[in-house]
Chain A
Amino acid sequence: MTETRYDVRLHVNGTVHDVQVPARRLLSDALRHDVGLTGTHVGCEHGVCGACTVLMDGRPVRSCLVLAVSAVDAEITTVEGLADADGSLGPVQQAFKECHGLQCGFCTPGFLTTITAGLEENPSPTPEEAREMVAGNLCRCTGYQNIVASVLRAAELRGGDA
C-alpha cells in the first residue's frame, strides 16, 4: 500500500516552498520536516499547548491542527519570520530577552507568534489584556509572570500607540 502524495506550495515567511506530502500530513510536520523550519515546536499534537502556533494570513493557528494540504493559499509566518528586516530581533523577541520571558525555550515560538498577532490587534494592552493575550499557551518553566511582562515591553518597543 503506497500513500498518495500531493504537490503543495507553501508560502512561508515570504518564501515559496514546494513539497510533496500525504493528505494526512500535519502543517507542523510539513514546516518542521519538509520545509526544514524547526523553530515551530510540537508540544501536544492536540491543540492545547500552543507551542506550534504559526500565523496564517496574520492569524494565529495551531499548526498541529491544520493539514499541510489545506494551507496552500495562506501566507504563513513562523518564528523564523519574526526578526526585523535588518536581522535584529523583532520587538516581541527582544522583549522576551529583556524580561527573561523564556527558560527552556520550547514553548517560546508559540508565544512569540501569538503575541505578534495579539499586538497587531491591540497595540497597547493593559496588564489584564496582556494576560488574556497569552492565556491559551502553556509554559512549564517560567510561571508566566515574565511572559506577561514581555507582552507589555513588546508593546512599548513597537511604539504601542502607533
Chain B
Amino acid sequence: MTTRMLGEKVQRVEDDRLLRGQGRYVDDLAQGALEVAVLRSPHAHARIVEIDVDPVLDVDGVVAVWTYDDLTGPMAEPLPLLIPHPALTHGRTQHALAKDEVNHVGEAIAFVVAEDRYVAEDAVSRIRVTYEPLPAVVGVEAARSAEHLVHEDVPGNVAARLEQATGDADAAIAAAPHRLSLDLEVERSASTPLEGRGTVARWDPDAGRLTVWSSTQTSTGVRAAVATKLGLDLGQVDVITPDVGGGFGVKIVHPWPEEVLVPMAAMALGRPVKFTEDRREHFVSSAHERGQLQHVDVGFDDEGRLLGMSVQLWHDHGAYIPYGLIVPIITSTQALGPYKPEAYKVVFESLYTNTVIVTPYRGAGRPQGVFLMERTMDAIAAYLGRDRAEVRAANFIQPDEFPYDQRMTFQDGRPLVYDSGDYPQLLDKLKALVGWDDFESVRQEARREGRRVGIGLACYVEGTGVGPYEGAHINVETTGKVKVAIGLTSQGQGHRTAFAQIVADELGVPFEDVEVTSGDTRRMGYAVGTFASRAAVMSGSAVALAARQVKAKALRIAADALEAAEEDLEIVDGHVQVRGAPASRLALGTVAVLSNPLRYAFDEASKLATQFTVGNPDKPPVEEDDEPGLEGRDFYSPERSTFAAGMHAVVVETDPDTAEVKILRYAVVHDCGTLVNPMIVEGQIHGGVAQGVGGALYERMAYDESGQLLNASFMDFLMPYVTEVPERIEVDHLETPSPLNPLGIKGAGEAGVIPSAALFASAIEDAEGIPIRRMPISPSELYDLRRKAAENAGSVENAGSVESARSEPVETKESR
C-alpha cells in the first residue's frame, strides 16, 4: 500500500524554485513593460480644485497620464461595494482616481505611465494639484463626535449600525450578583506583507484577450472586477496569480484602483503595463485593520459565569467601506469564543475617518473580539479573586453540547453554530504545557531575584472555511502525471504540497506525480479566494471530492480493460490492480489513454485508444453520460463554517526600570481538526504568533490629528525582527475533526495572531498589577501606567469602578 501522506510533515515542493531565486512574483514578469507611478493625495481631506498635468508631457519617456476626467463608462463609477449588507445604509467607495475630493493621505489622484518607474515618478512630481483643505476626521473619537464629516452626505460619519442579541442582556446584567464595566481600545495595524501590491496587464489585440497578473488573494474576484470595469466579457479576461510575497488579508480587496487602471492602460496603449507598489505607498494606500473602541457591561455569578454581557463597539473603517461590515461582524460574533453567556447583546457602529481603508488583516476582527472577551474574563477573575483559568472553564461550552448554536448570525450570513471542539481538554493541555498551576513558585523565585514576571492566557474560537464554495479540477495525463487545478490563490501556505498530499492519498498515486496549480482562471474559473483560513477546508475538500471522481472513473475504465469487477480493483502507486493481485495491473496513464477514444494515434501509447483497437462496435465510443478524458471536477460548498479553536499562554518579564516586556515562554494549544501537513500548520502558527507579538507590543499606525501617517516606513513601523519574537513556541495539537467536510479539516492560517493582544494584556497585567485596557502597549505607555498607578495609590474612592478590578492593589505591585 502507498504510504499515507495526509498528516505527514512532507517537505514543500514549492521551495526548490523559491530558494534558487526562480520564483516569479509579479514584478519579475513582463520585463520591459511600461511602468506606472501614481500621484497620491498629501492631504487627509481636501477638495481638488484643479489638476494641471501639462508639465508632465515635457518629461522624456512619459507615455500617458490619466486623471478622473479621463475615465469613462464603468471606470468613472465608484469601485464596487463588494459585500453589501442591509445594515450598511451609508456605504461609500472610492473612485479609481479621486473625483473632486480626497479622503485620505495616499488616495490615488493621477496615474502616469512611462518607460520606467524612475521616469514615471519624475512625472508624478511635476503634476500640479490645487487643493482646498478640509478638516480631517482622525480616530474613533473624532468620528463619533461628528464635529466634521468625512462624507458630506453621511450623517454622524456612521456607515452602519448593527445590533445582535440573544436573550435580554440588560435585564440579566441588572439582576446579576456582580457587575463590571470595561472601556477598551485596540489600535490600528496592518498586514504589511514583504511584497506590496502589484499588477501587470497585457492586451492581445489579435486574440481580443486581456491577461492580468496580480498579486492578489482572489484571481476570480479580480477577473470579474476587471471585466466589469472595462466592459469585457468574463471569457476575454484571464487573471493569473503568480508567486505572491505574502498577503495576510490586504490582497483580498479588489479591485484596488491600480488593478483596473493597469489593464485599462494596457488596452489603451497596446503595450504591457506594470504597477509595483513601493513601501510608502503600501502604508498609505493599502488597507489597515484593528482600530476599535469597546465598552463592555457584564453581570456574573460567584463562579464567574457570564449571566449577561452587553458590548458596544465603535469600529474605524477608514475613508471608504468596500469590504462591508465583515470585520465588525466578526468581532461581534467571535467575541463569544468558547463561552456561552446566558444573554448577550452587541451593537456596533462602523465609522468613517479620513484614513486608509480598513479591511480584514489576518484574524479579521477576531483579535479585537478576543481582546474584549478575555479582558472581561480576567477582570471577573480579579474581582472575584479566582483563578483566571478557572473562570474561563466555568463558562466553556462542553464537548457534549456540539453542535452548539450561539444564536447569532455570522459573517457569512449563516447561523453561528459551532460544529465540534473540546475546550476543557484544550485548557488542560495548555495548563500542563505552560505549567499554569506551578506558576506562583516561578513568580516567587523571580521575585527573590528582583525580577518581575507575569503569566497570561487567552482562548479563542475561529470560524474558518467560509463559503460559498471552492472547486478543483483533476486531470490524469497519459504519462500518468496528475494535474490538479484549484481556483484560489497561494501566498506561501504550501498549497502545492498540501493538496498534492490529499490527491496522492485519495487517488493512490505517488506524491511526486501530482502537480497543483492555483489561482489561474484559465485552469479553474470558479473560485472565491484565499482568506478566512479557508483554503485547506474548502479547496482541500474539493480536491478530495474531485480525486474521488477520478478514481471512480479510472476503476470503471480499468474494470473493462482488466475484465474484472470494479469493486475488486484498487489503485496502488499509480496503477489499477485487482486487489491482492498486483501482477495484472494497469498504469493510470494507460487508463487515461483508454478514457479518450481516438481516431488518430499521436504516439505509441495512444494507439491503444484508436478506433480499430478498442470499443464495442454496438455502443457509442463515449457513453451518453460520460466524457472523454480521465478527469474529475467537483466543488465543495458547506452549509456553514467550521470552528477551530485554540488557547495561548505567555510568560513575560517586565523591566522594573525601562518597562520593556520580554517574552520568557510562549505556549500554544491548537485544534484545527485533521492536520494535512503538521509542518505547514506549525509554520502558520509561528508566523501568526510573530505577527501577534508585533500587534501587541510594537506595531501601530501613528496618525497625527491632520491625518498624516507619521510612521509610514519600516524604519518607524516596528515589525518584529527575530530579536522580538519568542525563541521557541511550545505547540500542542488537539484534533477534533469537523463533521462538515470529507477530511475533517478546520482552518489554521489566522489562528496564531488572534489571541495576542488579549494574551499580552493578561500577562503584563499579571506582572504589573495594573489594569491594561489598551493595546498595543509600548514601554513608555507601560511606564506611564505605572506612574499613574503610583499617583493613584492610596486613593480608593473609585472602588467598584473598573479601575478597582486590578488583580492586585497597586501598593503590592510597587513592593515587588
Inter-chain contact B687/A39, CB cutoff 8 Å: no
Inter-chain contact B687/A103, CB cutoff 8 Å: yes
Per-position binary interface string of chain A over residues 68-101, scored 1 when its CB falls under 8 Å from any chain B CB and 0 otherwise: 0000000000111011000001000100111010
Chain A min CB distance to B581 (Å): 39
Contacts of B729 in A (CB 8 A): 143, 145
Q: A89's contact among B19, B688, B721, by CB below 8 Å, is which?
A: B19
Q: B194's contact among A2, A25, A80, A140, by CB below 8 Å, is which?
A: A140
Q: B279's contact among A22, A44, A131, by CB below 8 Å, is which?
A: A44
Instruction: Scan residues 222-265 of chain B and give those whose CB is less than 8 A from a CB of chain A.
Output: 243-246, 248
Inter-chain contact A136/B725, CB cutoff 8 Å: no
Inter-chain contact A104/B118, CB cutoff 8 Å: no
Instruction: Scan residues 246-294 of chain B and give those whose CB is less than 8 A from a CB of chain A.
Output: 246, 248, 278-279
Instruction: Scan residues 85-143 of chain A and give those whose CB is less than 8 A from a CB of chain B.
Output: 89, 93, 96-98, 100, 102-109, 112, 127, 131, 134-143
A97-B683 CB under 8 A given contacts A139-B194, A140-B192, A144-B725: no
How distant is the Cα of A104 from the Cα of B59 in the complex, in angstroms? 38
Chain B min CB distance to A73 (Å): 23
Chain B interface size, under 10 / 10 to 19 / 20 to 34 / 35 or more: 35 or more
Inter-chain contact A106/B683, CB cutoff 8 Å: no
Contacts of B278 in A (CB 8 A): 45
Contacts of A157 in B (CB 8 A): none
4 residue pairs, one from A and one from B, having the closest CB atoms: A39-B21, A106-B245, A104-B492, A143-B686
Contacts of B27 in A (CB 8 A): 32, 38, 42
Is B20 in contact with chain A by the CB < 8 A criterion?
yes
A146-B19 CB under 8 A given contacts A38-B28, A137-B721: no
| Chain A interface mostly | loop
Contacts of B722 in A (CB 8 A): 131, 134-135, 144, 147-148
Inter-chain contact A49/B11, CB cutoff 8 Å: no
Which of the segments B157-165, B426-434, B712-720, B808-816 contacts the partner chain? B712-720
Is A24 in contact with chain B by the CB < 8 A criterion?
yes
Per-position binary interface string of chain B over residues 302-317, scored 1 when its CB falls under 8 Å from any chain A CB and 0 otherwise: 0000000000000000
How distant is the Cα of A37 from the Cα of B20 in the complex, in angstroms? 11
Inter-chain contact B16/A89, CB cutoff 8 Å: yes
Inter-chain contact B714/A49, CB cutoff 8 Å: yes
**Interface of A with B (CB < 8 Å)?**
1-3, 22, 24-25, 29, 32-33, 36-46, 48-49, 51, 78-80, 82-83, 89, 93, 96-98, 100, 102-109, 112, 127, 131, 134-148
Chain A min CB distance to B91 (Å): 31
How distant is the Cα of A146 from the Cα of B15 in the complex, in angstroms? 14
A48-B20 CB under 8 A given contacts A33-B31, A135-B722, A138-B721: no
Is B691 in contact with chain A by the CB < 8 A criterion?
yes
10 CB-based A-B contacts, threshold 8 Å: A41-B194, A44-B714, A79-B19, A97-B16, A104-B193, A105-B245, A131-B727, A142-B690, A145-B686, A145-B727
| Chain B interface mostly | loop
Instruction: Scan residues 159-174 of chain B and give those whose CB is less than 8 A from a CB of chain A.
Output: none
Chain A min CB distance to B693 (Å): 9
Is B723 in contact with chain A by the CB < 8 A criterion?
yes
Inter-chain contact A105/B687, CB cutoff 8 Å: no
Chain B min CB distance to A20 (Å): 13
Q: B15's contact among A33, A41, A96, by CB below 8 Å, is which?
A: A96
Contacts of A37 in B (CB 8 A): 21
Contacts of B691 in A (CB 8 A): 140, 143
Q: Which residue, A33, A96, A103, A107, has most C-beta atoms of chain B within 10 A?
A: A103
- Apart from A46-B713, A103-B683, A143-B729, list 5 A-B contacts with CB within 8 A: A32-B28, A97-B15, A104-B492, A106-B194, A143-B686
Q: Which residue, B18, B722, B726, has most C-beta atoms of chain A within 10 A?
A: B722
A97-B11 CB under 8 A given contacts A25-B118, A106-B193, A141-B687: yes
Inter-chain contact A107/B194, CB cutoff 8 Å: yes
Output the nearest chain A residue to B248 by Cβ-Cβ distance. Answer: A140
Per-position binary interface string of chain B over residues 188-206, scored 1 when its CB falls under 8 Å from any chain A CB and 0 otherwise: 0001111100000000000
How distant is the Cα of A140 from the Cα of B494 in the complex, in angstroms? 15
Is B491 in contact with chain A by the CB < 8 A criterion?
yes
Q: Which residue, A25, A32, A104, has most C-beta atoms of chain B within 10 A?
A: A104
Q: A145's contact among B12, B192, B248, B725, by CB below 8 Å, is which?
A: B725
Instruction: Scan residues 510-536 of chain B and give those whose CB is less than 8 A from a CB of chain A.
Output: none
Inter-chain contact B245/A138, CB cutoff 8 Å: no
A143-B194 CB under 8 A given contacts A89-B19, A148-B722: no
Inter-chain contact B60/A93, CB cutoff 8 Å: no
Contacts of B58 in A (CB 8 A): 1
Inter-chain contact B194/A104, CB cutoff 8 Å: yes
Instruction: Scan residues 655-699 of chain B and give those whose CB is less than 8 A from a CB of chain A.
Output: 679-680, 682-683, 685-691
How distant is the Cα of A131 from the Cα of B691 in the complex, in angstroms? 18
A104-B244 CB under 8 A given contacts A44-B279, A134-B722: yes
How distant is the Cα of A49 from the Cα of B713 in the complex, in angstroms? 10
